[in-house]
Amino acid sequence: MTEKQNNDAPRRRRPIKFTFNISWIYILLMFGIGWMFFNQGGANPQKEEWAEVKKQWLAGDIKEVVFVRNDFEGHVTIRPDRLAKFEENFGGNLPKKSPHFVFLVSGSFNAEEMFEELNAQLPESEQVKVVIENHESYWSILEWLIFPLLLILMWVFMFRGMNRNMGGGAGGPGGIFNVGKSTGKLAEKDSIKVTFKDVAGLYGAKDEVMEIVDFLKNPEKYTALGGKIPKGALLVGPPGTGKTLLAKAVAGEANVPFFSISGSDFVEMFVGVGASRVRDLFRQAKEKSPCIVFIDEIDAVGRARSKNGGFSSNDERENTLNQLLTEMDGFGSNSGVIILAATNRADILDKALMRAGRFDRQIHVELPDLKERQEIFQVHLRGLKLADDFDLEFLAKHTPGFSGADIANVCNEAALTAARHDKTAIDKQDFLDAVDRIIGGLERKSKIITPEEKSSIAHHEAGHATVSWLLPHANPLFKVTIVPRGQALGAAWYLPEERQLVTKEQMIDEMCSLIGGRVAEEMITGQPSSGALNDLERLTKMAYAMVTYYGMSDKLGTLSFYDSTGARGYDLTKPYSEKTAELIDKEVKELIEMIHDRTLKILEDNKEGFLALAAILLEKEVIFADDLENIFGKRVGSKEEPKAEPEVEQTVEPEVEPVDAE
């Protein structure tokens, strides 16, 4: 067959298939409702008394009157040229169709006789057309019923489908507004570029999650022996330690799709939405199997269910949690969907969520140590211009307790500090200034402080520095300043030593260091100030912890009222008697008095050095550990590399509650 013949051949047309779509019903309903609104354009007929209608009749304003005998009702149509006369009766909006007025009469009204009498008084050209009838039509009733029926039908069609997909269906499109559809973000395996090489530090956590990667890569190795792939792993750790980054690295290393969603995304005001989103999320995950589902801040939905239904209960949140428990413990054991969740409040999670078969592993993501901080700094320093003499190890030593997010913030703040000073490279001092700003806040040199207040602040901080330097178990001092920062009028920086256990003697030394500022004020001025608010708060908490938690009280004995489950918050009673409470208060008071007297003796025995340190502080406003070494000699007790979280003692403004800079 030639090309021409081929073109002239009759073409077969595909039959047009019409498929039913629920949206057509919504369009028809909306069209019907709109037609009823627009069809009733203009003002409605106004009710009028028969006396007024009679006046209009005699004035020649009426064109037609339709009287319904069995309803004792008359419908009046005004002449078009006289209609503007009655504009005020309709509120300035003249009706577009008749009747214009409606009047009601009694059963004794003789319509024929009355209408003939009125027409006899008018010339023939102005006489009114009269129609008298009985109302036998049901259309008026239907007119009143159609509108609410349309609304009811629209409500039924719209919300029946939404309720089906949110409350009782297994997944589904999520309702008419997609309210029940999962809001999780899907990252395909080809788009995930993060691997374990991009995660600095976290050695212990990475070793544990490597097993999960091996499960996803080689599931047959485990299932062939009858083993089951773990359902999930819970990443527990402080904020900013890299839990989300670690989960992404697992997905990138295993080369599988990655679903990410926040725990708060399941909680909505509509009943059944959270459970529906959980079902839809797991339905999508099973379709992409094997894959990883990451739920960030799972404590928003996985909080322990209250035993007392009258207090702090939330049926919607509990229903969502129940659905999550069901999905994680379904029939498909080897579906290839692994749940990773992150939280910093593992103590408040429901026990049913933590059992084996749901979250089989708890992976603790701790704050980085010295070596890990160096690696994290190397990651965040890649794009920065550093000075030639930059010492990375020095910076890592002076940022104990910093998380990965904190280190990233330090690097960025150091770059901004160098830019403010018009530097071409970032040096060590820029990083130290960034650390000081993050911990203590921005310097407020313009703040007006009287000489008396400045002297009190200097002696306060000198008291902290003296006591911490002379006690072997107190945290080593790094820096003291009386320059106002943030809400603090003065601050002291410490580099805590690495300790896995804390003894009673060590805690007492720490408490003496805390109260050193208040005792110094009492020695010099004779009057305590409100600047020790932060110190006294921490001192009191430590004293009560020693007595009630750690069993370090001689009179109370080795008792502990610590609640590791966190369920005591729902109880209205204390776990001890009133007599025991009085004994606790007495023990705490005696402990603090002993610490006060011990600190006072230390300062009195070293008063000369203490006053010299305060004088230097008044002169320079900032002193370092070298200045204390010149006055008191080499400090005794500094042994190991700092690791724990840094502590800042602050002298705060009297009217402002201090912010703990830990």
CB crowding 121-141: b at 16 or more within 10 Å, else e? eeeeebbbebeeeeeeeeeee
Contact predicate 526/452, CB 8 Å: no
Instruction: Give the C-alpha separation, 370 to 379, whole Å.
Output: 15
Q: Is 87 tagged catalytic?
A: no
Assign 330 to helix, strand or coil. Answer: coil
Helices 625-632, 451-470: axis angle to 10 degrees equals 70
Contact predicate 566/483, CB 8 Å: no
Instruction: Give the C-alpha separation, 657 to 413, whole Å.
Output: 26
H helical segments located in 20-60? 22-39, 50-58
- Beta strand residue intervals within 112-175, DSSP E: 129-133
CB crowding 514-549: b at 16 or more within 10 Å, else e? bbbbbbbbebbeeeebebbbbbbebbeebbbebbbe
Count the neighbouring beta carbons within 10 Å of the beta carbon of residue 561: 16
Q: Phi first, then psi: give them for residue 600, nearest 5 degrees.
A: -60, -40
Instruction: Give the C-alpha separation, 402 to 200, whole Å.
Output: 14
Q: Which of 297, 461, 497, 510 is catalytic?
A: 461
Q: Phi first, then psi: give them for residue 491, nearest 5 degrees.
A: -155, 155
Q: Within the chain, what is the greatest distance between any pair of CA atoms?
A: 129
For residue 335, the number of C-alpha atoms closer than 13 Å in the C-beta half-sphere is: 22
Q: How far is CA 295 from the centre of its chain?
A: 14
Instruction: Give the C-alpha separation, 176 to 160, whole Å.
Output: 9
Q: Which amino acid is at 118?
A: L
Beta-strand pair 258-262/477-481: unpaired
Instruction: Give, as one character, the DSSP assignment of residue 167.
Output: I
What would the DSSP string read from start to end of 525-555? TSS--GGGHHHHHHHHHHHHHHHHTS--BTT
Instruction: Give the C-alpha separation, 289 to 285, whole Å.
Output: 6
Instruction: Give the C-alpha separation, 437 to 442, whole Å.
Output: 5
CB crowding 571-584: b at 16 or more within 10 Å, else e? eeeeeeeeeeeebb
- Beta strand residue intervals within 371-517, DSSP E: 477-481, 488-494
| Residue positions annotated with a catalytic role | 461
